[in-house]
Amino acid sequence: MAMTIKDALRLAAKDQHFANEIMTNPEAYRAQFNLTDAQVQQLKHLASAAAKAKTSGGLGPAADYDWALAGMTNPEFIGILPAAGLGSRLPSLRAPKELLPIAFVADPATGAARPMVAAEYSLGAMQRAGVRKCLIVTSDRKPEIFRYFGDGSGFGLAVAYLNQAEPDGLAAAIDMAFPWVERSCVSLALPDSVFSPCEAVAAVNQALVTRHADVMLGVFPTVNPAQLGPVRIGTDGRVIEVLEKPTLTDVANTWGIAAWTPRFTDFLHRQGARIRGLSIGHVFNDAIPHGLDVRALVFEAGSYADLGTGESLAAMIFGRWSEDDEEADIRFARAGRGGVG
């Protein structure tokens, strides 16, 4: 029986000799499997990933195989919106910060104004990027989030929920999604932040695929890097270091959104209890010395606002626009470029 492309991918993920053979002469498989140029590159990427997995000893073949197989066509992105935090920086708030109105939008059918809440912005950015499913990680202390978003049909994508009973940190919240995303690419946005351009999510997802990275970070300028997650980037776009609220830094940016393949999902899950209490930025940083290809897409003219403090909320100016406006990003007005970050 002739070997199929699926068989070849499985074998390359498990057999180092076969993986080396593909890297040496990938063109030999073009005719056999009727591959396009892009698919030949994906086959080479799988062989390279399998080799890295063998040498690092930290990754099994399943994640590499599943990513490469998905990449041969069009990988599915599943969104993750982690909204289980207690809002400790806003102790006087009597409602989930994710549901705070940040702008007013006009209904395209009626023209009537309605408030847009913070988490809706990130969810909408995912929907515009082609994400059709999103997991919201929340807490039973915040049932209002479930009531507001429901099944997601009113927002253009399917929404499901995971309950993080105890506040174990952002990395642990994201890892809860493992059984549902282990064979898909992940698109991550935070429910208490606003970034510009809104199309950044689509750009980051696309860059992950075209650059064959394991993790792609969307990076924005900010004047407050010590409060966020600054990223040190090499001239080739590869990430050198991801910091987490450093006391001092000469890097005036922050990561604000991210996308990754099953290879990073697998790496995150293998950390086990070690990630409790950590931000996902810590795990991005740890992935680099373990051989994962972490890269950055920088939005030099973009903006990023973390709405987790009273000061940042006060700086956000409410806006109003039509939802079908191509320039329908949150307007930072006085906040300016990164001024709320």
Are 57 and 83 part of one and the same domain? Answer: no
Task: Tell me the residue range of the domain where 164 lies.
Answer: 77-89+96-335
Residues 6 or more apart in contact with residue 272 via CB below 8 angstroms: none
Question: Is 60 exceeded by the pLDDT of residue 26?
Answer: yes
SS3 122: helix
Q: Is residue 341 a part of any domain in this protein? A: no
Kindly indicate the confidence band of residue 330, based on its pLDDT and cuts at 50, 70 and 90. Answer: very low
Q: What percent of the chain shows pLDDT beyond 70? A: 67
Are 237 and 316 part of one and the same domain? Answer: yes
283, 290 Cβ separation under 8 angstroms: no
Strand partners, 298: 219
pLDDT tens track for 315-324: 554 443 344 4
**What tokens appear for 50 in the block?**
């399998």
Q: Is residue 222 a part of any domain in this protein? A: yes
Residues, the chain, total? 341
104, 90 Cβ separation under 8 angstroms: no
| Distance from C-alpha of 276 to C-alpha of 284, rounded to nearest angstrom | 15
Give me the mean pLDDT over the 134-153 stretch. 92
Burial class (CB in 10 A: 0-12, 13-18, 19+), 337: middle
Give me the mean pLDDT over the 101-118 stretch. 82
Average predicted confidence (pLDDT) for the chain: 79
Q: Is residue 26 a part of any domain in this protein? A: yes
Which DSSP string do the residues of 36-99 spell out, in sequence order?
A: -HHHHHHHHHHHHHHHHHHHH----HHHHHHHHHHHTS---EEEEEE-----TT-TT-SS-GGG
Are 67 and 81 part of one and the same domain? Answer: no
| Distance from C-alpha of 71 to C-alpha of 111, rounded to nearest angstrom | 41
Are 54 and 120 part of one and the same domain? Answer: no
Are 57 and 114 part of one and the same domain? Answer: no
Are 30 and 139 part of one and the same domain? Answer: no
The CATH number for 287's domain is 3.90.550.10
Are 277 and 215 part of one and the same domain? Answer: yes
Are 291 and 313 part of one and the same domain? Answer: yes
**What tokens appear for 182 in the block?**
């282990």
Are 176 and 50 part of one and the same domain? Answer: no
pLDDT (0 to 100) of residue 266: 92
Are 111 and 217 part of one and the same domain? Answer: yes
The owner of tokens 């604000």 is 256
| Distance from C-alpha of 27 to C-alpha of 209, rounded to nearest angstrom | 21
**Structure-model confidence comparison of residues 311 and 267, the more confident one:** 267
Q: Is residue 216 a part of any domain in this protein? A: yes
Question: How many Å separate Cα 220 from the centre of its chain?
Answer: 14
**Structure-model confidence comparison of residues 335 and 271, the more confident one:** 271
Are 11 and 83 part of one and the same domain? Answer: no
Q: Is residue 340 a part of any domain in this protein? A: no
250, 224 Cβ separation under 8 angstroms: no
**What tokens appear for 142 in the block?**
């915040």
pLDDT (0 to 100) of residue 110: 83
What pTM did the predictor assign? 0.76
Number of domains in the chain: 2
The owner of tokens 């053979």 is 21
Are 156 and 47 part of one and the same domain? Answer: no
Determine which of 40-44, 101-105, 224-228 has the lowest per-residue pLDDT on average: 40-44
Task: Report the 10 Å Cβ neighbour count for 108.
Answer: 10
